[in-house]
Amino acid sequence: MQEIKVQQKHFLVYGGSGHVGHALVCALLQEGHKVTATYCNNKITMAHQNLEVIFFDMSSSLPIVIPGPLDGIAFCIGLDKKAQAIKKIEESMAQNVGESAHLFSRLAVGGIQAGLPSLRQSSNPNIVFIGSLVGSKAFISPLEFAASQGAMNGLIEVLSKDLGRDKIKINSIAPGVLEGGASENLSKQLKYDYLKHCSLRRYGKAIEVANMAVWFLEENSYITGKTIVLDGGL
């Protein structure tokens, strides 16, 4: 039987050193694609002939410009494992909540603007955000993070109308509690309650989120402006 070769594409992954971001980078490389991945606090140490690594700080760095065709952009920047503990509203600073939403919006809009010329050269361009269940269901989380997720969902719905003129699809994936990553900051009680109400009675895995993102980046041709919840049936 003749082996079917997948056409190599080029993807940009913001936050390629994070828990899900790293899994996504590995999955795309395994599919034979070229990947440009960014990191900030945790440097990407793996080496691959199809991988380019770039330092990127969302609070100060300029968006990445990729010359030539770009088939998709994935935004995987969110809470890291050292994120502050969940606080009550009286313990949170309103300024920090607003700044989080502003930083995320600036990254999203700036990153998409910088990538537009290259995305327009692709035959099937896609943008996917890796968000959180926080943006889709009532779930305990830091207010700063919740603000960024709310901003993300609003942006995606609005941008889908604008980007659709260039045949660019934009969607987000909202995973629930995962094994490892930022979920390690959650209390034992909260994680116990999650399993109690989760239909599949287990946490999600980073590779499961990554595999869904790969499908959106590689194959999606008609879904846009949507948030796909990946929570095991909560």
Secondary structure class of 16 (helix, strand, coil): coil
| Predicted pLDDT at 198 | 93
| Predicted pLDDT at 102 | 72
| Predicted pLDDT at 149 | 74
- Among 9-18, 21-30, 56-65, 114-123, name the one with the lowest average pLDDT: 56-65
- Residue 77 class from Cβ within 10 Å (0-12 exposed, 13-18 middle, 19+ buried)? buried
So what CATH class is 10-229?
Answer: alpha beta
> Torsion over CA of 11, 15, 16 and 20, rounded to 10 degrees?
-110
Q: Does the structure show a pLDDT above 90 at 74?
A: yes
pLDDT band at 141 (very low <50, low <70, confident <90, very high): low
Bridge partners, residue 51, by sequence: 35
Q: Does the structure show a pLDDT above 50 at 81?
A: no
Q: Does the structure show a pLDDT above 60 at 86?
A: no
Q: pTM here?
A: 0.89
